[in-house]
Structures are given as C-alpha cells and as structure tokens.
A and B are shown apart, each in its own frame.
Chain A
Amino acid sequence: MRYLPKSPADREAILKAIGARSIDDLFAPIPAEYRLNRDLKIPRQMAESEIVDWFRQRSKENGLDYTSFLGAGAYMHYRPVIIDSLISRGEFLTAYTPYQAEISQGTLQAIFEFQTMICELTGMEVANASMYDGSTATAEAAMMAVRVTGRSSVVVAQSLHPEYREVLATYAHHQGMPLVTGGFTDAGRLNLKELEQSITPDTACVLIQSPNFFGTVEDVAALGEIAHQHGALLVVSIAEAVSLGIVEPPREADIVAMEAQSFGVPLGFGGPYCGVIATREKFVRHMPGRLAGQTTDRNGKRGFVLTLATREQHIRREKATSNICTNQALVALMVNIFMTVYGKVGLRELAKQNLAKTAYAADQFGRHARVLFPGAPRFNEFVVETSEDPYVINSRLLGHKLVGGLPLKKFYPELGNAALWCCTEMTTRTAIDTAVGMLAESEAEEPSGEHAVEEVAR
C-alpha cells in the first residue's frame, strides 16, 4: 500500500524486536469470535489515476458547466487563487489544533488576525476561531444567550434560514428552550408588533437573520431596542458575509452568529463551511469555541496561545459552554486570506457589484413577474412570485444550463409560487437576461414592475 512506509523486512524486524511471532499476536486482545477473518466488501485498491477518473466522472454528473441563481445560505463568489496556494502548504494543511503554542505560531497568529477582522466587520468586540457552520453557530449563539440572561426561551424570526431554524429546534429540544416564531411583514421584515407581543420576561433573546433568508435587510436598530427594553439579547445571524461590505453591521446586536462561506470557501455541495460567533467582551466567558489570545514568551517576545480554555469540554467536561472540539480551522484560514485580499476597499466594491447585479435582475424580473417584499432594502437576493410553478420554470431553464431560483414552497407554503433568486459578482447580465426571457414566456404580459406590487404582496 503506497501510503505505508515499511518494507516486509521492516515489519519482521519490528515484530522480532517486540517479541511477537506474528501480527496476530498483537490482535490477540480482541476476542476470537469477533475477529474479521475475511476481506471487507469494499471496492478493490485503486491506482491514483483510477481514483482521479472515478471522481472526475462524479464531477461531470454534478452540475458542471451550469450557471446558477441559487443562494439561500450558500453563495457563489470568486475565490482568489492564492487561497488554495496558501492553504495547501503542508504546514497549514497537516498541522493539528495549536495546543503546543511554540510550534504552532503560524496557525495561532492567523487565528488572531481572523478574530480581529471578524470583529471589525461585524462591529463586535470578540470573535471565536470558528464554529462548524452558520446553522450550528446560530443554535449555539441562542444557547449562549440563555446562559448570559438566565432566561430560557427564544423568539425566532421566521425569516431566519429554515435549515438554521431546524438545527436550532434540534439543539433546543432537550435544553428546555421554548422557541416562539415571529412572522414577517409585507416588506419581508420581522413583524415588530408581533415581536412585542411574543417577548416575555422569560425571553433570553430575539434571534434574527440580516440580510434575512429573503435577502431583506432587517431594521436591526429597532429590533435591538425592543429586545433590550425587555431585558433580552439581540442575536443576529448573517448567512451572506459579503453583505458586510456595504450593509451596516448589526452594531446593536449582543451576539452575531455568522456563516463565512462567502469569503473564499467553495460551495462544495454544502460544506465544509465556516461558522463564527462574535460578541461583546463582557460575554466572552459564556462563548463556545476556541479563542486565540496574545501573550509573551519568557523573553518578552509577542506570541499567541489558545486561551480561556476553562470554558471548553476538555477542561470543564459536562459543565462546558459547548461540546465543540474540532472546529473549521483550515476553512477559517481560507476566509482569513479572502478578507486580507479584498481588505478595506475591495470588500465594499465587491459588495457593491453584488448590489448592482441584484438591483438590475430584480428590475428585469419585475417587468414580468411580482418581486415580493419591495418595502425594505435588500442585498443580493430577492423573491419572485410567478403564476407558473417555479419548479416548471426551473426545469425549462435547466435545459439551457441555467439553475433557477430556489422554489420556496418547501419552506414557506404560504408564499405559493415564489422562488428565491440570487445574483453575485459572478452572475452575468447575459445569464440574467436569458433567465428573465424564459420566465417571461409563461408569465402574463401585464406590467407588474416592482413598484406596483405592494398591494398584492402577501
């Protein structure tokens, strides 16, 4: 086997040194009746070229060469090539969690820079080294709010990513954490009146997403005011990190739970991605996940270590803030490099292109169908309601190598024939015009531009 560095003679020599007659001696502790005395029934050993061929075939069967209008928590942005050049260095790729600080300063300093940039972008004071993804970061942020406030329930916006809500429900189930859902208005924003009525003295936090699942930017300031008036925290989930380049960060939030996939992480059929939790300094000891901190060595030289470990499972066991151990370090490094490449000016310009493409597309779609939620600003997603079933429209588009917006009836049956469309800097005007043209084929000629939609939306 080509990964194994021992010759048959080496094995014999080692067996002899140990004083074992054969390898079977070493497996003697396993009761004989359970030992497997046959080959595993898995595919035979393949050559490297055969492995590449097998996966190349799978790649061909997987939407290769399609142009997609899908977003909904997973975004197609350009990935600068230096991301993969750098993360492919064995010193990053094949290193362990940086517990031994003296020989892990590279990873530790990178995490420290990552934490800093996440703080700058989110408007928070501390950020952790990563969580599994946006959905688990959001669920853990809600649990953190429960620890901080000593209260037990959570008011969740219905416009939070439906799969994030499902994960939250799974986590909350055995925590004694009741979840109350807050609906949305005709503008696609959380209904403030409903929210006021939903909050009780037991509400630990109001949990929203902004831009929300429909791409709509929430009125974070107003939501923060309501939550804080009632002694609850405001937890803001961010699924589209690029929005932070042009949309005000949720400065009124107490905890931000984000998915940083947009920052240089491949779509990869859903993972691995990069969750992050950021918060106020005063809450840091309630935070889950690893943290890198600055310190000095014995000669006074600056260095970095993993710190505040007394929150974590390997020290605190069942009293830990979370059971999380392995996080998404290498993916966080991709995010780190992406943020460094675009930096202060590039992030804004990138976000602006997303805004422009989406504004153009929404306007074009609006000429043939109803674009919902016109009353509030949006970032790079919008909801289009058609008379025809969006699945039918999408299968027509698929024939032209276009993947249409995500039909919403699965998650929001009340929205009927609505679909969530996304445009990024990667979406060409040609693709937009083609999609609009094909959608228009089935839609009535009547002009129902965006401005005319208000009275019929929801």
Chain B
Amino acid sequence: MKHVTRKATRHVNQNEGLIFEKSSPGKAAWKLPLLDVPEVNTAKLLGTAERKDVGHMPEVSEIEIIRHFTRLSTWNYAIDLGMYPLGSCTMKYNPRVNEVVARLEGLANGHPYQPEKISQGALRILKTLTECLLEITGMDAITLQPAAGAHGELAGLLMVRAYHHAKGNPRKKVLIPDSAHGTNPATAAMVGYSVENLKSNERGMVEVSALEAQMNEDVAALMLTNPNTLGVFEQEIHTIAEIMHAKGGLLYMDGANMNALVGKVRPGDFGVDVMHLNLHKTFSTPHGGGGPGSGPVAVKQALEPFLPKPVVVNKSDGTLAFEYNRPQSVGRVRSFYGNFGMFVRALAYILANGPDGLRQTTEDAVLNANYIRKGLEGVYDLPYSTPSMHEVVFSDKLQAKKGVKTMDIAKRLIDYGFHPYTTAFPLIVPGALMIEPTESEGKEEMDLFVEAMKSIAEEVEEDAQTVLDAPHTTRVSRLDETAAARKPVLRWKPA
C-alpha cells in the first residue's frame, strides 16, 4: 500500500488556538457607516495625545470569530448540558424568556441619566421587583444597587455600621460562624470590623451558649447563613436573634441559601435585621461563567434611613422617581442603580412562577437534596446527621483511606458527564463534598448522578488510580495549578 500522510485529525471542538494566532493584517469583521460630518485631522485635534498604534489586537473575519467562540464554548460544561450540583452556588435552570425581555429595546438601550419622564418603564420594574422581594423576605425596605452577593454584604454591613454609629457607637467586631462563606470575613474587614469566629456545635449549628458568651456591646452583628453552608436550618434562630438584640446587636443573614426558604418562611419573621439576596442564585439569572450577579439588600425599618442612594419613590402625580436627598445614607456602592438587566430577569422569573410556583420550586429543591442524601448515605460519610434542606454535605473520610480525596472524586465525576459538586467547603468538614441539585433536576438525572457517585466509590475500592488520574475524557487532563501560580503567564505575547 502506498504511504499516505494522514493529516486529518479531529480538529473541530478539539483544537482552537488563541485568537491572536489567527490574526493577519487586512482581515476585518467590522464596517462603519458612512461618515456624515467632515473628516477631522486627528493630529490637530489631539496633538501629542493621539494614539498611533493600538497594539497587538487581532485582525480576523466574522466567520472566524463565530467559529472561535463557538469552539471555545464546546469546552465548557453548562446547566444546559446536565446537572451542575455545585453546593452553595444554586445552579438552576436559566429561563430563556428572561433573556428575551432583558433585550427589549427600551430596556436594553435605556440610558441611566435619561429624564425620569421617559424612564417610567425601568422605574416600574425596580418598584415591582422591590415589592416582590420585600414580600418574599418579610423585610421593610430594600436597595437593589449592589452588583453581587459580596457587594450586598458590603452594603449591608455599611448600614449596620451607620446604624450603630447613629446610636453613638459603631462597635468593633462582627461574629461569623466557622462554616461561613469567605466573603463574610473579607467584607467585615472592608467595613473596618474585626472578625470573631463562632464555633458550630456537633449538629452543625450555631452553639447558642457560645454565642451568649461571645455576645457583648462590642459586637455589631452576627453574619449568619440560613440554612447554613451544611444545608441545615438554624433551628434556634429566634433565640439567636434574641441574644443579638438583647445586647443591641443586629442579625445579618447571608441569603445565599434563600432558595431553601422562598414561600415557606420569611427571614423578616424570624428576627433578621438585614440580609442580602443573590438574584443569580435564588432568582435564576444566569451565572454566565462567573457573573454578572446582583445582590439586593433588604432591611428592617430601623435601617431604612441608611440605604444606599438613590431610592425609588412614588410621586404625588402617580409617577415614580429617584430620591437622592437621603442625609443618613451610607452613600453609593455602585454607579447608577445596580445591575438593572438582572432585575429584569429576576422579575420575569418571579412572574413566571407566581406564589404557587415559587413555593413548589423551594419544595422541589429540598426534596431533591434529600433524595440525593438518601441515595448516597452509607456510600459516602455523612458528618452531620442533622436534617438537610436544599443541599447536603458529605465527606471523603471513607475514600481517603485509599488515598482518594474529594477533589479526585470530583474530577472523576466529570468522566460520568456531570459537573463536580463543591469541594472542600464548608471548612468545618474536612474533605467536604457539598451537593446541591436544585429544583431543576428530574428524578432520572438524579438517579444517574447517584449511580455515578456509587460507581466512583466502587472504583476507589477496586482501582483507585483511575480516580486519581481523572478526568480521562476531557480535552485537557488535570492542569498544573502550582506552575501557573509560581510563574504566572497572564497574557499572550507575540513570539
């Protein structure tokens, strides 16, 4: 047989260089309209400020751009492909009608400074969403300005500080349970508070006696996630609130897990003074590979004067307006009014659900987490037997005996077609496997997931190396993160 050089490899979806590597002078994907005013002499207008060269920017055609990003996209896992059981992240379905309404011309092209007279549509959306979120949380007032959950924490703690300051003493520290998200202590530090750790008890909840001992007039607030990061509802929440309030402190609720409560119980009813919501978790706005999010902060009446400005108000003529005259406000945390496009999406989600849909959604989320828990109990170690709400945390204790850690199991899960669960968080569970199916999974998908997890547990016993070397089916195998951090290469450079 004649020798043939086989050049054909599976290039589609597998190989795609950097866009810079496809660039060559003269290719273009743009065309400007005809200029209807006189050309200008740029040198004359700008002098030494004129830029002559924009650097190594790509020059490519439109089809190349489409293929480039389409190919890149195929290297991502996504909710649209299957279950994404990342605990604490709430990877639920992102409804497509949300995307359609957010792109309606008047909303997508509205300028933040256009006169209020022609902004009534946007203001009505802000107002309607506000009313819905206040009813859902049982709180009294809200700001939509923060751009993400951590940003909401910042706004919330700024209000806490302003509240105490107005009473004559801003106080010194914030209590944070050892199971909390890392953003909580990082935020407290930004607001000038020192952080005091609060130990969890053997049931995974706040130890009330410890709180009682640590609570004093130096403590501004307790930042509590409820359900907490173990997926456990803090059953003594009211006692916790009472202890805080008795000494003049405030109860801050991290609303990252609000999807376990909507329509079933309201934080405002169980003693919370200030809380943030993550519209990109509970209210279905897409995660988009890491953002944008949106982190509204709801407060009780006593904190209302301190809300970031502006706030939306009703005018006597029935129209809506922004109110800027807020002398006790903590100020602005972001330009304009926040991530408006996310408000549109979250409101569309709320309208699609209504009261019955939201309640069913919460019930299904909790039902699903408990189904997974039941399916994997005994196969993986369950460090806390306390009842689970919307997520369940196992540990790698049984598998670690064979030298297999939570990250290895997570990587092997990829080979079974699932995104990994959250690894190594919360910190109070060594080797944590934090699983949150959300309401968006049907029974079949969860059965497959449980089967996959059981199968991996068997592999650990029979052939641990297969798990340790996973994933085996991805475009790239495990990446060298240590090398990436030791000698960072953070941009492409021309050869």
Q: Report if A412 contacts B (CB, 8 A).
A: no
Is A215 interfacial (CB-CB < 8 Å)?
no
Residue of B at shortest CB range from A122? Answer: B55
Q: Determine how close the nearest CB of chain A comes to the CB of B159; give it in whole angstroms.
A: 11
In the complex formed, the residue of B with least CB distance to A102 is B474
The residue in chain A whose Cβ has the minimal distance to the Cβ of B425 is A314
Q: Say yes or no: B484 contacts A398, CB within 8 Å.
A: no
Of the candidates B113, B190, B233, B441, the one whose C-beta lies within 8 Å of that of A74 is: B113
B79 A90 Cβ-Cβ under 8 A? yes
Q: Which 8 A-B pairs have the closest CB atoms?
A: A330-B288, A270-B336, A45-B354, A90-B80, A62-B121, A59-B106, A61-B121, A270-B112
- Contacting A at CB under 8 A, from B339-372, are 339-342, 344, 348, 350-361, 363-364, 366-368, 370-371
A109-B16, A112-B18 given; 8 more Cβ-contact pairs under 8 Å: A17-B371, A89-B69, A93-B288, A271-B339, A271-B342, A330-B290, A331-B288, A331-B292
A18 and B374 contacting across the interface, CB-CB below 8 Å: yes
- The one of B55, B114, B330, B360 in contact with A4, judged by C-beta atoms closer than 8 angstroms, is B360
Which residues of the other chain, A, contact B99 by a CB distance below 8 angstroms? 88, 93
Contact check, B367 vs A14: say whether CB atoms are below 8 A apart: yes
Beta-carbon nearest neighbor of B308 in chain A = A170
Q: Which of A29-37, A180-188, A224-232, A445-453 is the contact stretch?
A: A29-37
B490 A343 Cβ-Cβ under 8 A:
no
How many Å from the CB of A264 to the closest CB on chain B?
12
Q: Which residues of A contact B364 (CB under 8 A)?
A: 4, 6, 11
User: Across the interface, do A342 and B18 meet the contact criterion of CB distance under 8 Å?
Assistant: no
Complex: A65 Cα to B350 Cα, angstroms = 28
Q: Is A60 an interface residue (CB 8 A)?
A: yes
A128-149, CB < 8 A from B: 129-130, 132-136
Which of B62, B111, B188, B293 has the most A CB atoms < 10 Å from its CB? Answer: B111
Q: Mark A72-102, 1 if CB is under 8 A from B, else 0.
A: 1110100010101111111111111110111
Once the chains bind, are A324 and B112 in contact (CB under 8 Å)? Answer: no
Minimal Cβ-Cβ distance residue in B for A119: B491
Of B23, B105, B389, which one neighbours A29 at CB under 8 angstroms? B389
The answer to whether B488 touches A23 (Cβ under 8 A) is: no
A120 to B490, CA, bound (A): 13
Known: A3-B93, A134-B335, A166-B332. A36 touches B265 (CB 8 A): yes
* Contact with B336, one of A90, A163, A169, A176 (Cβ below 8 angstroms): A163
Q: How far is the CA of A97 from the CA of B29 in the complex (A)?
A: 29
Task: State whether A295 touches B481 (Cβ < 8 A).
Answer: yes
Cα of A64 to Cα of B106 in the assembled complex, Å: 5
B76 contacts A106, CB within 8 Å? yes
Stretch touching chain A among B3-11, B46-54, B398-406, B459-467: B46-54
- Chain B's nearest CB lies how many Å from the CB of A365? 13
Is B291 within 8 A of A130, CB to CB?
Answer: yes
Expressed in whole angstroms, the Cα–Cα distance for A331 and B28 within the complex equals 23
Does A46 count as interface, using CB distance less than 8 angstroms? yes
**Residues of chain B lying within 8 A (CB to CB) of residue A15:** 367
Min CB gap B35→A, angstroms = 6
User: When the two chains form their complex, are residues A345 and B28 in contact, meaning their CB atoms are under 8 A apart?
Assistant: yes
In the complex, what residue of chain A is closest to B65 when comparing beta carbons?
A340
B32 touches A36 (CB 8 A): no
Chain B residues in 8 Å Cβ range of A236: none
Do the beta carbons of A94 and B161 come within 8 Å of each other? Answer: no
Q: Across the interface, name the chain B residue whose C-beta is closest to A58.
A: B121
Q: Is the CB of A126 within 8 A of B490?
A: yes
Q: A247-B50, A343-B23 are in contact. Are A86 and B94 (CB under 8 A)?
A: no
B37 on the A face (CB < 8 A): yes
A-B contact pairs, 23 of them (CB 8 A): A14-B371, A27-B366, A31-B235, A39-B263, A43-B132, A45-B353, A46-B351, A51-B348, A58-B122, A62-B107, A63-B114, A91-B77, A93-B99, A101-B481, A268-B107, A270-B337, A295-B479, A317-B182, A318-B189, A326-B290, A331-B292, A356-B39, A359-B37
Give every chain A residue within 8 A of B56 (Cβ-Cβ): 116, 120, 344
Total count of chain A residues near the partner, CB < 8 A: 198
Q: Which residue of B lies closest to A89 (CB)?
A: B73
Cα–Cα, bound, A61→B86 (Å) = 39
B76 contact set on A, CB distance < 8 A? 91-92, 95, 98, 103-107
Across-interface contacts of A249 in B (CB, < 8 A): 51
Cross-chain contact of B182 among A92, A112, A313 (Cβ < 8 A): A313
Least CB distance from B248 to A in Å reads 19
B141 to chain A, nearest CB (A): 17
A73 near B106 with CB under 8 A, answer no
Q: Which residues of A lie under 8 Å from residue B185 when comparing CB positions?
A: 313, 317-318
Measured in the bound complex, the distance between the Cα atoms of B112 and A406 in whole Å is: 11
Docked-complex contact A13 and B477, CB < 8 angstroms: no
**A43-B133 Cα distance, complex, nearest whole Å:** 12
Q: Does chain B have a CB within 8 A of A368? A: no
Bitwise interface map of A from 204 to 236 toward B, beta carbon under 8 Å scored 1, else 0: 000000000000010000000000000000000
Do B481 and A18 touch (CB < 8 A)?
no
CA distance A317 to B65 in the complex (A): 39
Q: Which of B476-495 contact A (CB under 8 A)?
A: 476-481, 483-485, 488-492
Given A136-B151, A244-B51, A339-B57 in contact, is the A330-B72 Cβ separation under 8 Å? no
**Contact B29–A340 (Cβ < 8 Å):** yes
Q: Do A295 and B483 contact each other (CB < 8 Å), given the known contacts A3-B95, A61-B121, A217-B49? A: yes
Q: Report the bound CA distance from A340 to B22 in whole Å.
A: 11
Note all chain A residues with C-beta closer than 8 A to B376. Answer: none
Cβ-defined contact, B290 with A54, below 8 A: no
**With A42-B136, A337-B65: A247-B51 Cβ-Cβ less than 8 Å:** yes
| B70: interface (CB < 8 Å) | yes
A134–B332 alpha-carbon span in the complex (Å)? 13
B293 in complex: contacting residue of A100, A305, A307, A326, CB < 8 Å: A326
Encode contact with B along A287-309: 1 for CB under 8 Å, 0 otherwise: 00011111111110101110111
